[in-house]
Structure 1
Amino acid sequence: MADTIEQRCERLRQPVTELVAMSLAAVYRSQDLPELSRAIGAVRSILAEDASGLPAGPFRDWLPTALRNLDRMGEAVDAGDGAKSYAILTDKQDGFIRLTDGCAGFPGWSVNG
């Protein structure tokens, strides 16, 4: 059975929280790069799941960009560049802020959630 958008957002909440934390840590601590790589993989595995059952909108629109961003983040991590990976994650145009838009209104994804 396919996830609903709310279920997908719920499943992403903790892995994305870890991704953000490890991304920031790896900017300052290169020894955290392997853990960041693991966090990238965890988020990627959820985002790469079949989205055909999810409604059209901000979440689905951003998925191709999200997967490209995760690939680029992984490449930066492999090159030892935690700062570049973090910059991709936090890009104001295409970064993970768009996931916040796609999951807005669900628990843990908004100020009121």
Structure 2
Amino acid sequence: MADALAERCTMLGGPVIGLMQAVMGSQVNAIRFVEVIERAREIQRIVARGAEGIDDPAYTRWVATAPVVLDEIIDGAEHRDRERVWAAFSDPERGMNALAAACTGQPGW
């Protein structure tokens, strides 16, 4: 089970870092919204795999809400709404911080 979590966290590491950079960049440069959308969609494809084989409650809680959060990030970016993108990304319960908490201790996290 821990191996499945490690594998999933490894898969998500690069895309999440890319999303973080794009979200931060979009706060000062609207051109970065395109990249926000691309990175969020990349994460959506990984999230679509679900949490099979992963029994970590923090991860399963995050993966259950991630589709809604990622949709909010994408919709906010499509509408060039910096505040909405940031609010969804940084939400302490559902955003990328919750994923980081689930992946704490995994390589690259």
Q: TM-score, normalised by structure 1?
A: 0.87
Task: Return the letter of the residue paired with 2:31.
Answer: Q
Deviation at 1:89? 0.5
The residue aligned with 1:58 is 58
The residue aligned with 2:44 is 44
Task: Return the letter of the residue paired with 2:99.
Answer: L
Give % identity. 25
Matches of 1:102 and 1:59, distance apart in 2:
5
Q: Secondary structure at the match of 2:104?
A: coil
Q: Secondary structure at the match of 2:34?
A: helix
Per-residue Cα deviation, 1:78-107 (whole angstroms, up to 9, x for no partner)? 111133202210122322111011111111
CA contact (8 A) 1:33 1:77 kept: yes
The residue aligned with 2:76 is 76
Q: TM-score, normalised by structure 2?
A: 0.90
Paired residues, what number?
107
CA contact (8 A) 1:26 1:83 kept: no
Deviation at 1:56? 4.0
Matches of 1:92 and 1:14, distance apart in 2:
20
The residue aligned with 1:92 is 92
Matches of 2:64 and 2:51, distance apart in 1:
11
The residue aligned with 1:104 is 104
Give the root-mean-square deviation of aligned CA atoms. 1.4
The residue aligned with 2:6 is 6
Deviation at 1:4? 0.7
- Decide which structure has greater helix share: 2
Per-residue Cα deviation, 1:14-72 (whole angstroms, up to 9, x for no partner)? 10000000001011111111111101111111111132221141101111211110011
Runs of 4+ in 1 over 2 A off after TM superposition: none
